[in-house]
Structure 1
Amino acid sequence: MTATTYDVLGIGNAIVDVLAKTEDGFLAEQGMSKGAMALIDESRAAAIYQAMGPATEISGGSAANTIAGVADFGARAAFVGKVRDDQLGNVFSHDIRAIKVAFDTRPASVGAATARCYILVTPDGERTMNTYLGAAQDLSPADIDPAQIAASSIVYLEGYLWDPKNAKESFLKASKIAHENKRTVALTLSDAFCVGRYRDEFLDLIKTKTVDLVFANEAELLSLYQTNDFNAALTQLRGDASLAVVTRSEKGCVVLSGDKATPVPASPVKQVVDTTGAGDLFAAGFLFGLVRGFNHEDCGRLGALAAAEVIQHIGARPQTSLKALAQASGLSV
């Protein structure tokens, strides 16, 4: 088997987040569904940007945020995602490399602009996302480096990237290479609306063991199995997935492995400021624990620790050292 160069490699949308605080009334005026992620075109992106208040630009993207968290814990991380060779593409590339994440995907020289996500944060900390995918949609199987995949202990796939046909083929190529090299493949379902679009395909990925580990929140789980019965959905997921983690906000999470369901409490939070990236950073903590050989309960505790850090400030990437927080909690090696 190929020697391990990276602990976790993420494949996802390379996006720059544009965040602004707003009121619920603005969401209603704009016809936005609070707490959801909507895909938008370039003209709608321009209209939202013009209407929203003062904004902050921060490199984002779901899997990229997870990989940033993995690196912050002290693991070796890499990311695969497509940007354009424009201003925001340069911002994204600089930011992810600055946190010691390997990012070697060649930028596009023609076509759509670098992706951006307009995130409106209401006073309760809930985030509503409007995403223009732009160049991120152009990720192709040619961008998947077999040697890099083979050298990564865990390959982490972003459900949001399941929209474009080329990206699906990239996922399947990466999964096949990873499994040929006895690596673990993880998938985050990303969003309940995303699950609604691709329910049967996601279930097929899980049931055929194309993915070994599934991350979902409660809404995504219920959407996956089209039920309002949480325990019934858990039972179905346990039967379908080799390993799965379901997050439940302040209720913590449940780790499913075989016949075992392990509940893990949430970490304490003084004030919820912005929930953007909570699931992304939870996955970072869990994956870090997994590659370090921790039991599933401690992996969940690391996930809860990272999620709690990120929701107490604006932005989806950590501002306090996750490695230091883990060490303070006795959960680092």
Structure 2
Amino acid sequence: MTASPAPRRFDVIAIGNAIVDIMAPATDDQVAALGLAKGGMTLVDSDRAATLYDAMGPAREISGGSAANTLAGLAALGADCAFIGQVADDQFGRVFAHDIRAGQIAFDTAARAGQPQTAQCLIFVTPDGQRTMNTFLGASQFLPAAALDETMIAASRVLYLEGYLWDPEEPRAAMRKAIAAARAAGTQVAFTLSDAFVISRHGDDFRALIANGEIDILFANEHELAALTGEDDFHTGMAKICAQVPTVVVTRGSEGAHARRDGADAHVPAEPIKRVVDTTGAGDLFAAGFLYGHVRGLALEECLRLGAVCAAEVISHYGARPEADLKALTGIA
């Protein structure tokens, strides 16, 4: 890898789905009347998204998406971050742009004219705390390679890629181009596998990236690790993937998290909390804490601890963004 003389303006620049989360309270009767699968996540088209939006009561609208959630956690910890993701030139696109910039995250991707609309996740929250999610992926699936700012990638310590966005062809090509730009600039490439279903569709691509030495930091949970390596035994799978990737981070729910970096191993238990309210965003915020420690050169175990604290905060309430002071919780203030 060739080192770049460019100054590192950003700690982390991420590419991911640009989604507006729209969350509103709902009754069980309303969920049933709308024909929703209570507690589940369903992909919907634009017409269905519009119908559901019209049926919602007063709602909270906030920028979302896996990689954007990670950046929100990083920014809350004090990191300098940038985001690349596609929105449309519409109301939700303006909501996303305003919200992510308000979180002190640089976002300069030009809005896309015409249809489809900006991606939305419409979330109905019933009195028992169940979240029923309906996701319209919209414009986020049409991020072109031309939208990349390679100077921003070169000015970042880490490029963080969201596995969910590997599915559509156009952003997949954009991420391949971004990886090439990062390798040329000496920017580390971090990749989150996102979900086992993504690996079932694109595992061969991911394994090729790893075999070619294009991934410096890999994030996974234990189920994704098994899907990627074909090994049901956790330790066997770790050994297999760690032989190919310099830094591997794997979460195991209540069992905590493991990591290996340059041959050194570390493990931390899950942070104790009074009650798990909503696991949405747990992996995203774990990555935020880990990456914050990583870019500051902290010991591997401390990076894991920061990740565990951030994940514990986000699963203690509804929503995938931190609500408490992460600096105070992690002790880095």
**TM > 0.5 between the two?**
yes
Give, in angstroms, the shift of residue 118 of structure 1: 3.3
Residue correspondence of structure 1 range 1-333 to structure 2 within 5 A:
1-19=5-23, 39-46=43-50, 56-119=60-123, 129-327=133-331, 332=332
CA distance in 1, matches of 2:135, 2:297: 36
Give, in angstroms, the shift of residue 259 of structure 1: 4.2
Matched positions, count = 327
Unaligned runs of at least 5 residues, structure 2 = none
* Change beyond 3 A, Cα 1:38–1:216: farther
What is the CA RMSD across the aligned residues, in angstroms? 2.7
Contact 2:36–2:132, Cα closer than 8 Å, also in 1: no
* Change beyond 3 A, Cα 1:15–1:257: same
* Change beyond 3 A, Cα 1:146–1:115: same
CA distance in 1, matches of 2:235, 2:128: 28
Contact 1:192–1:220, Cα closer than 8 Å, also in 2: yes
CA distance in 1, matches of 2:142, 2:289: 29
Aligned with 1:250: secondary structure? helix
> Cα deviations across residues 18-50 of structure 1 (Å, max 9, x unaligned)?
3357899979x9685967x65433244356657
What amino acid maps onto 1:101 in structure 2? I
CA distance in 1, matches of 2:227, 2:132: 19
Give, in angstroms, the shift of residue 314 of structure 1: 1.4
Contact 2:61–2:95, Cα closer than 8 Å, also in 1: no
Unaligned runs of at least 5 residues, structure 1 = none
Scaled by the length of structure 1, the TM-score of the pair is: 0.88
Aligned with 1:240: secondary structure? coil
CA distance in 1, matches of 2:177, 2:167: 16
> Cα deviations across residues 90-124 of structure 1 (Å, max 9, x unaligned)?
11111111111111111112121000123466899
- The worse-fitting range, judged by mean Cα deviation, of 224-233 and 314-323 is 224-233
CA distance in 2, matches of 1:269, 1:120: 25
Give, in angstroms, the shift of residue 80 of structure 1: 0.7
Contact 1:86–1:113, Cα closer than 8 Å, also in 2: yes
* Change beyond 3 A, Cα 1:19–1:148: same
User: What's the % identity of the aligned pairs?
Assistant: 51
- The worse-fitting range, judged by mean Cα deviation, of 7-16 and 213-222 is 213-222
Contact 1:12–1:158, Cα closer than 8 Å, also in 2: yes
What amino acid maps onto 2:286 in structure 1? F
CA distance in 1, matches of 2:128, 2:220: 22
CA distance in 2, matches of 1:193, 1:80: 23
* Change beyond 3 A, Cα 1:59–1:247: same
- The worse-fitting range, judged by mean Cα deviation, of 5-14 and 194-203 is 194-203
